[in-house]
Amino acid sequence: MPVLTLLTDPARADLPADAAARLPTAWGAGEPRWLSPGTAVQVPLAGTVRTEEQAELRELWSRRGVDAVVQPRVLRRRVLVADMDSTMVQQECIDELAAHAGVGEQVSAITAAAMNGELDFAAALRARVALLAGLPTSVVDTVLAERITLTPGARELVATMRAHGARTALVSGGFVPFTAAVAARVGFDEHRANVLLEQDGAFTGTVQEPVVGREAKVAALEEITAALGLTPRDAMAVGDGANDLDMLRRAGTGVALHAKPVVADQCDVRVDHGDLTALLYLQGYAEEEFVGR
């Protein structure tokens, strides 16, 4: 039986109490289950919802600041593989480094094009890293302390899934010093990212090969699930950029979170308004089950 989840930003919590009653009668909406009053509700559907109807429903509710997601069924996933930049944290770490190097605008433009799928990710990464040559490595600690903030719901998502036996991994096209710090802050089991090469306390402007990009994210998803005797269909993945797209397609639940248009348009599960706790609601967790608050 398909299930519709309606959810909004917990900071607003303005989802109407009669939200389930507003669905087409042909869908055979069952008894709603409120996962969090004003924030998330799940509704079982007896009827079939065609793809074009789902798109219309998503657009209709999106105008009200609500995400509408139809899933064949609700499953609690046993693995979480998450992107970092603009997903688990609210910034692009390389852009913050570039600002300190005085090349912020140049790097930000390349980042935006790469995340929109307009440039090859690996080539774009090398080009951006080259602009960091000579930057003191100590700047990483400054950026982490002063600029990098967690996305709301990050700790709750990871802590709740881990409390229920899931393996959690932060897999980024960014850099190890950042993933190490963010993984520790949030509580991930493991992290993978690119290595910025350095010499005499400064970055050389090069990255260790091979680059962790689109293919590496899929490989990480496959390796982590296989090590647990699972498949990618047992996993949830979340990301926002073009280099996340293959990973999102391979996972059992691939969530495009506040994603770039090229990504959002190709993903069935989109969260445009909620925060990272949306990934828990989509698995059927109620707010009182959240861990880490």
- The catalytic site residues sit at 83, 85
Contacts 24+ apart (CB under 8 A), 10-19: 10/36, 10/39, 10/152, 10/153, 10/274, 10/275, 10/277, 11/152, 11/275, 12/38, 12/65, 13/37, 13/38, 13/39, 14/38, 14/65, 15/39, 15/40, 15/41, 15/66, 19/66
> Among candidates 102, 100, 93, 235, which has minimal Cα distance to 176?
93
For strand 79-82 and strand 33-36, is the pairing parallel, antiparallel, or unpaired?
A: unpaired
Asked whether the beta carbons of 223 and 68 are under 8 A apart, the reply is no
Query: Of 91, 93, 200, whose CA–CA distance to 136 is shortest?
Result: 200
Residue 121 token pair: 């990710």
Q: What is the C-alpha separation between 72 and 74, in angstroms, rounded?
A: 7
The amino acid that residue 22 corresponds to is: R
Do 241 and 213 touch, CB atoms closer than 8 A?
Answer: no
Angle at CA 286, nearest 5°, toward 266 and 68?
30
| Single-letter residue type at 261 | P
